[in-house]
Chain A
């Protein structure tokens, strides 16, 4: 077992013929992910080939799903087309949408979330590195070489910082069940709490690492959730303890966030929920 992606994943790649899309599709195939289809409008009928594996390219997601039974998509298309790509995947009945694209406007994401919430579609991202279930499937760009199968669930708002932490785990021989990069945009798909719940319910996962950063109050909400709902131990790291406070325009941000948003506020909230918080990424393993 694992969460969200694994041996049952039948992956579609939207933007498979682009520079990043093609490079990372090859990496995903190399890792052993079952990539069943690609979509690039106007390039239907082409075949994407990598290391002996042939992936048919379709013009639309609907067609790709009908022909291949894809159940998960990974979106590599540029920001101005990415919102459309999410809607298209949701409309075609894809169960899990992983959107790596960065720079999507917030008001667009509000509409996307409103729409997805009326369906049974999960979104991860946007602006995230995707997720990986070691030994089974990699959806996104987390390097396959730094993970190993095991029992630690990792959920993170950050991209490369996740690699740092996972790499440290693997170096010490501690494997992972699934590593999920949810992205740091203000409005996104799955949040810390959604993923924590999945880990709590997953029989393979024995403990969880949460990686947060300054801004917003997702870490504080996660702390509340952990205190009330989780039995599995959680260890955390918060990036940005030494970041200088930014200049604020207006008072609205301060009124809404109060003390939450700062690293101290987050660390305090997590510790109050019996979460061990590391001082630096390499220290997480020592605390587990």
Chain B
């Protein structure tokens, strides 16, 4: 789960990371009041779950409360990579910026350890820096039994040529960021840029954080930070039902068990000239209700002209899926053509249940995909 910048920075601050004073506004008038309280010189920042806000015009400097109101007016409602901006963070401006540093902690899958990444060349173009001059990215692994050690932060500070008088503060800041990471089961904590201000102090003017979904159960406070406005309604409904659903723009709805098989089903639909309308993984051991919810979601998309079910039972049982399909069809009633391919655990029983449902059946994945593509084109016999 992704957090907003304002949420991330407050969590960083709980572990001693210095952040600017600021507050969230939902309207230009509110932005104006907050800017007034902060003394007028502020930065107005779109709060959406994506990178590239700055380049999209979602971050603006303001030197008076009036300017802050104007900036908020321009940013609120803006579309950034398909997300609508509903709120802005009003932060005090940093007192001058001498340098921009990049600092992040994430999991290195290959080494199976948390890893610090840092660069003296922080800012919006950090990915280009990493691509063209990878030696400017410093990487240090952390043993969770030891935590971040002083010699490690010294190594990073030295490699970045950080002024000596900032080393102690930098060490505290890195340790704070690491504590935030571990205490909240984060998969990413990132500060870009971490600035050295005109007064020679470190300040985290930006913050990004993602949390491990699997750990949310033990962090009720973080679970409550989920921004329901950022999640399309269909995806929210799916999440509640324990289904993994992503809306796409094709016309063949797919329901599959397992993410890898779901992706392969989409791939093969494309390969045979069709276009998937969604990714839908009903998960392992799905019950009839989940199948019914999934089918409702698929059919609520007016673009859908055919539906392909590809269920290879292991822990999921074919008869459960078949019952779910019938349940949903009884409730919705549709003339969208459907192709069903059941294999594996209890597939036989499932086929028996669907026998009278007037659905096209298929033996193999290729066969199923071909039939679904034909059905979507209206080429059904």
Identify B187's interface contact among A106, A157, A162, A255, CB under 8 A: A106
- Among B106-149, those with CB < 8 Å from A are 106-110, 112-114, 117, 126-127, 130-131, 137, 144-145
Cross-chain contact B366 with A247 (CB below 8 angstroms): no
A253 to B210: give the CA distance in the assembly, Å. 11
Q: Which of B166-174, B258-266, B291-299 makes up part of the contact surface?
A: B258-266
Identify A249's interface contact among B50, B127, B276, CB under 8 A: B50
A258 to B129: give the CA distance in the assembly, Å. 12
A242 to B278: give the CA distance in the assembly, Å. 11
Interface string of B59-83 (1 = CB under 8 A from A): 0000000000000000000000111
Cross-chain contact A248 with B110 (CB below 8 angstroms): no
A251 to B260: give the CA distance in the assembly, Å. 26
Cross-chain contact A110 with B364 (CB below 8 angstroms): no
* Size category, B interface: 35 or more
A164 to B2: give the CA distance in the assembly, Å. 33
B268, CB-defined interface residue at 8 Å: yes
A103, CB-defined interface residue at 8 Å: yes
Cross-chain contact B108 with A167 (CB below 8 angstroms): no
Q: Which of A38-46, A140-148, A201-209 makes up part of the contact surface?
A: A140-148
Cross-chain contact B112 with A113 (CB below 8 angstroms): yes
Cross-chain contact B137 with A141 (CB below 8 angstroms): no
- Among A209-248, those with CB < 8 Å from B are 211, 213-214, 216-218, 221, 237, 239-244, 247-248
Identify B114's interface contact among A110, A258, A280, CB under 8 A: A110
Cross-chain contact B258 with A159 (CB below 8 angstroms): yes
Q: In terms of DSSP, what is the predominant structure of the interface of chain B?
A: mixed
* Size category, A interface: 35 or more
Cross-chain contact A146 with B344 (CB below 8 angstroms): yes
Cross-chain contact B144 with A250 (CB below 8 angstroms): no
Chain B residue nearest to A156 (CB atoms) is B260
A129 proximity list for chain B (CB < 8 A): 314-315
Question: Across chains A and B, which 8 residue pairs bring their CB atoms closest together, nearest first?
Answer: A158-B260, A160-B258, A161-B260, A105-B215, A250-B190, A250-B208, A160-B261, A240-B263
Please give the residue numbers on chain A whose beta carbons come within 8 Å of chain B beta carbons, in ascending order: 20, 24, 79-80, 100, 102-111, 113-114, 129, 141-143, 145-146, 156-164, 167-168, 184, 186-187, 211, 213-214, 216-218, 221, 237, 239-244, 247-256, 258, 279-282
New contact pairs (5) apart from A159-B261, A255-B126, CB-CB < 8 Å: A159-B284, A163-B261, A164-B264, A243-B266, A247-B83
Please give the residue numbers on chain B whose beta carbons come within 8 Å of chain A beta carbons, in ascending order: 2, 49-51, 81-83, 102, 104, 106-110, 112-114, 117, 126-127, 130-131, 137, 144-145, 182, 185, 187-188, 190, 192, 208-210, 212-215, 217-218, 246, 248, 256-261, 263-264, 266-268, 270-271, 276, 279, 284-285, 312-316, 343-345, 364-366
